[in-house]
Structure 1
């Protein structure tokens, strides 16, 4: 998790003896406020999605199991956003342990999302194109459980490795939660990101090209809708995270020579980071593209409202009955 609090940088002119000061835009307040808003939306959306999946959807269906795991990934990622918001608005005040723990959770949410999405894509490829997915429900459940478990184990293992390298440092009274050795760790980090992002991206493109070709040839609307939902989820992930990952690579290998390039790169980095982090609240919206999912959500909300209404009415009736009994006792005592 990178964070730039210095709003100044230096530019070397053609005369090496002259140094100019570049003033870069400060996105601290905007980023902090944006992370808080995204956190609220993500918690509401993903919690509702999990409730609908558990209460009304068939968790024996492979897609629903994958979507449930994606919602958990988004919630893990969301938990880290309030800490990054405080970091942007002030500085790191949570100590070294939380610096490592929150960084680890941040990357677990990211890596598990991309690995689970890749598993969903491969599953769709086997089902639609190769048509070799097992009919037996027990074997399906074993395959899906193994795929999700592998995704989580890989994500946790890689994230722990990243978190160990993060530490709290202090400069001029300001505390930072950053990588300890930026050059070596940064290079290994970007190589790792390329394997965990660009490789799944290539697999997704290959699989969905074959899937779309197969689906268009078959006049099966139900299958087309199911593929469309999963496709939208995958496309949304790579649209949100793709520009941010590309900017990170540019920042690693390209050093701007003039202030305008510095400013443009800084603006792109902050804007694309906000776009990437906003992805954690998009999956519930995409899943609600399905008419059945929208119907289940409305039914769930209606039941919740009715239960609360019944509970409040019961409380009112109990209070009225209690008051009536007290009044009756008082009248009897007064009469006696």
Structure 2
């Protein structure tokens, strides 16, 4: 902590320019109105965040691309859950593609790209993150209708499937609308000898109020709405499955519990940090220790929240028996293409014929409301 007094209004303005994405100012005000160095936090961020983002990008891209390929070439989406899973995979792919830009920004300590790229990356990140959460809510609702409202599920879900394009457009449109402020306020600007890509509210009359509003929207639609829907839907789903005389109900309950616990484990820490951040906006009585702790927490919990996009393919697709069978067909076809020169008495055309026959038999057994994961 520096021992030289600084101009209070200038230091406060500097600190309040930073908002979101885990990037924090090098200095914040302590309770004595002196500058408190956060350089050690920046050093930690420059090492930890690029590595974490790179791993999330690689595994998230691989898992979600496999989901898209499986749906596109091997399994026709036959229920709204399948449609939501496909859209969620696309949203996660777009989301993880923004992570290399933020990894470079954390590694270099400055935003090296243009202002247009800043707005685009911030906007894509916000749109797809919100879209993923809304689609997660839609999956929970569809599972609730299919299991709890079983007598009405065929009519309701058939009608929804017939209007799947309109429903998906509404979800994506709502995500764009919720994220529109990110496109408006995000910009590249210089500070402390470098450049940052952050929402900036200097043009508005009350920046702190705007920041609180934006944080509130992010918490509402990015966490609390999905959480309420998931708790409501899965609570009734579990009760229905427990009461049902079904030999597979225990496995289905384990899947549901895993879905809820992973969601909570990934999202609660980051959103609690956001709540603390919102509560401290505009305060000038923060100590150096609390400021450093909050900065560390932002970096770590944000990485944990982003990890959820890697786990979605596992939780909603690969854990399902039917989806896993189609994924194994992809592996077999790839193996066949590599070995077709050496194969003896076994051709790729035969494998494709067997795959097609197996798919037809599987789809004949499945009903129209079948889902791609075990429930």
User: How would you bin the TM-score normalised by the shorter chain?
Assistant: 0.7 to 0.9
Task: Please tell me whether residue 275 in structure 1 is matched to residue 275 in structure 2.
Answer: no
Task: Please tell me whether residue 25 in structure 1 is matched to residue 41 in structure 2.
Answer: yes
Corresponding residue of 1:293 = 323
- CA RMSD between the two structures: 2.6
Corresponding residue of 2:120 = 101
Task: Please tell me whether residue 123 in structure 1 is matched to residue 123 in structure 2.
Answer: no
Give the alignment partner of residue 161 of structure 1, picking from 181, 202, 206: 181
Structure 1 pair 269–224 and aligned structure 2 pair: CA distance change class (3 A): same
SS in 2 for 1:94: coil
Corresponding residue of 2:292 = 263
Question: TM-score scaled by structure 2?
Answer: 0.74
Aligned-pair CA distance for 1:284: 1.6
Corresponding residue of 1:316 = none
Aligned-pair CA distance for 1:3: 4.1
Aligned-pair CA distance for 1:81: 0.4
Corresponding residue of 2:12 = none
CA–CA separation in structure 2 for the residues paired with 1:83 and 1:22: 25
Corresponding residue of 1:324 = none
Rg bigger for which structure? 1
CA–CA separation in structure 2 for the residues paired with 1:102 and 1:116: 21
Corresponding residue of 1:55 = 73
Q: In structure 1, list runs of 5 or more residues that go unmatched.
A: 314-336
CA contact (8 A) 2:27 2:35 kept: no
Corresponding residue of 2:214 = 189
Task: Please tell me whether residue 87 in structure 1 is matched to residue 113 in structure 2.
Answer: no
CA contact (8 A) 1:240 1:275 kept: yes
Corresponding residue of 1:328 = none
CA–CA separation in structure 1 for the residues paired with 2:325 and 2:262: 23
Question: Size of the alignment, in residue pairs?
Answer: 309
* Stretch of structure 1 that moved more, 132-141 or 143-152: 132-141
Aligned-pair CA distance for 1:21: 3.9
Aligned-pair CA distance for 1:176: 0.8
Aligned-pair CA distance for 1:125: 1.7
More helix by share: 1
CA contact (8 A) 2:22 2:295 kept: no
Corresponding residue of 2:10 = none
Describe how 1:315-330 pairs up with structure 2 within 5 A. Answer: none
CA–CA separation in structure 2 for the residues paired with 1:29 and 1:155: 32
Question: TM-score scaled by structure 1?
Answer: 0.82
CA–CA separation in structure 2 for the residues paired with 1:136 and 1:129: 13
CA–CA separation in structure 2 for the residues paired with 1:46 and 1:231: 22
CA contact (8 A) 1:11 1:22 kept: no
Structure 1 pair 188–10 and aligned structure 2 pair: CA distance change class (3 A): closer
Corresponding residue of 1:177 = 197
Structure 1 pair 234–119 and aligned structure 2 pair: CA distance change class (3 A): farther
1:10-60 deviation per Cα after TM superposition (whole angstroms, max 9, x unaligned): 4225xx7xx474555231221012111211111111111111222333411
CA contact (8 A) 1:229 1:290 kept: no
* Stretch of structure 1 that moved more, 41-50 or 197-206: 197-206
CA–CA separation in structure 1 for the residues paired with 2:95 and 2:26: 27
SS in 1 for 2:198: strand
